[in-house]
Amino acid sequence: MKILAFETSCDETSIACLEVNKKKLNIPSFTISSQIKLHAKWGGVVPELAARQHTINIIPLLQETLQQAKWKPKDIDLLAVTSGPGLVTSLHVGVATAKALAAAWQKPLIGVNHIAGHLVSPFVNPNNWSWAFKKTIWPAVALVVSGGHTELYKMKSINQWQLLGKTLDDAVGEAFDKVGKMLQLPYPGGPKVSKLAVLGNDKAFAYPRPMLKTKDYNFSFAGLKTAVLYSLNKFDKQKIDQKIKSDICASFQTAALDVLITKTLKAAQANKAKTVIISGGVSANQALRQKMNAVLKKEIPNINILWPDLNVTGDNAAMIGLAAAVSTNFKISKKLSNNWQNINANANWELWN
């Protein structure tokens, strides 16, 4: 089936053309227009500006994406759009655009949960796609780590998930971004904090590992973020040099990763997982990749570990199109005709409800 997918849940406008069935995945075009530069001046995403920029970007990006794929509207079998969770003003732009196209072109439309997209993102690669239906990889335990989410799921198949635990306060990406802001690093802080961490000593500051030993699979990062703030306040502002900043980044990153890795390992062991999937913006973090791989391979020698390619760790429409395809089981049922009337933005849509 040929799918045209849209993602506008935060600050990336993204559109993808996918041709997919159970055996084969082809992505003839895939575009992302990032707004990072626009929001960097404000130190974070400004919802009104994000929505305005999506509105400016989305139609030219649609024309470019269709042209690259050499697709005409008549070629498309299904439209897909992220309808939640996310910033409501941003979601509305993608949802309204996809609904208008579905009504005008008379195409079925599916509203996709953004987290369902992140969960399938390691398969957004024609070479990995065949893995998705191999019985030998399921059940899996999946860790989603992004700017808005930190969640652990058990997956029985590519389209069946069950929540094991989630953050009770800040998401881990949000904590990275806030530490970046405290250290006056440009937005988004995550990639910059991880870069500085490479140069620092991760034992320089004894930060807490919140909820490391609790029996559940929940997380908490607000206390860790506050511990970083307190340690920073002890210094005379003029004296906070590159060495102190790097040590703070390294110590913070190691504390955060320790919790993520310990809980993921515990969940994988308890659920007899054959595979661990890690996805979301923070899955681009190289220290997380190295440490998670080392710990999992040591403790569960036969485990498969799946990471998204670096072009799909962040928000993108290719993962949304793939999640839509999987949800249909690759057939367009009659109940999808005129389905655009049922699709609305839902900023708080929880995958587990």
* Residues making contact with Zn ion (CB under 5 A): 146, 315
* Close Cβ partners of 300 (under 8 Å, ≥ 6 residues apart): 265, 268, 269, 273
Order of all β-strands in the sheet with 2-7:
25-34, 12-20, 2-7, 78-84, 109-113
- What part of residues 147-166 is at the interface with ligand KG4 (CB under 6 A)? 147-148
CB of 140 to ligand KG4, least distance (A): 19
Site for ligand KG4 in 182-211 (CB under 6 A): 188-191, 194
* CB within 8 Å of 6: residues ≥ 6 apart: 14, 15, 58, 79, 80, 81, 82, 94, 97, 98, 317, 320
Minimum Å gap between C-beta 153 and ligand KG4 is 15
Map residues 2-41 to x or -, x wherever contact with ligand KG4 holds by CB under 6 A.
--------x-------------------------------
Tell whether residue 282 is a contact of ligand KG4 (CB under 6 A). yes
Interaction of residue 325 with ligand KG4, rule CB under 6 A: no
Q: Indicate the residue among 46 and 182 with the shorter CB distance to Zn ion.
A: 46
User: Could you give the CA distance from residue 141 to residue 261 in angstroms, rounded to a whole number?
Assistant: 12
- Shortest distance in whole angstroms from residue 175 CB to ligand KG4: 8
Task: Indicate the residue among 53 and 121 with the shorter CB distance to Zn ion.
Answer: 121
Q: Which residues of 124-151 are buried (b: 16+ CB within 10 A; e: fewer)?
A: bbeeebebbeeeebbbbbbbbbbbbbbb
- Cα–Cα distance between 304 and 300 in angstroms, integer? 9
Considering the rule CB under 6 A, would residue 47 count as an interface residue with ligand KG4? no
Taking the C-alpha atoms of residue 332 and residue 184, their distance in angstroms, rounded to an integer, is 50
Quick one: what does residue 194 bind among ligand KG4, Zn ion, none, with the CB cut-off 5 to 8 Å set by partner type? ligand KG4
314 is a site residue for ligand KG4 (CB under 6 A): yes
Structure tokens given for 271: 């659920």
Q: Which is nearer to Zn ion, 202 or 315 (CB)?
A: 315
**Interface contacts to ligand KG4, rule CB under 6 A:** 10, 146-148, 173-174, 176-177, 188-191, 194, 280-282, 284-285, 314-315
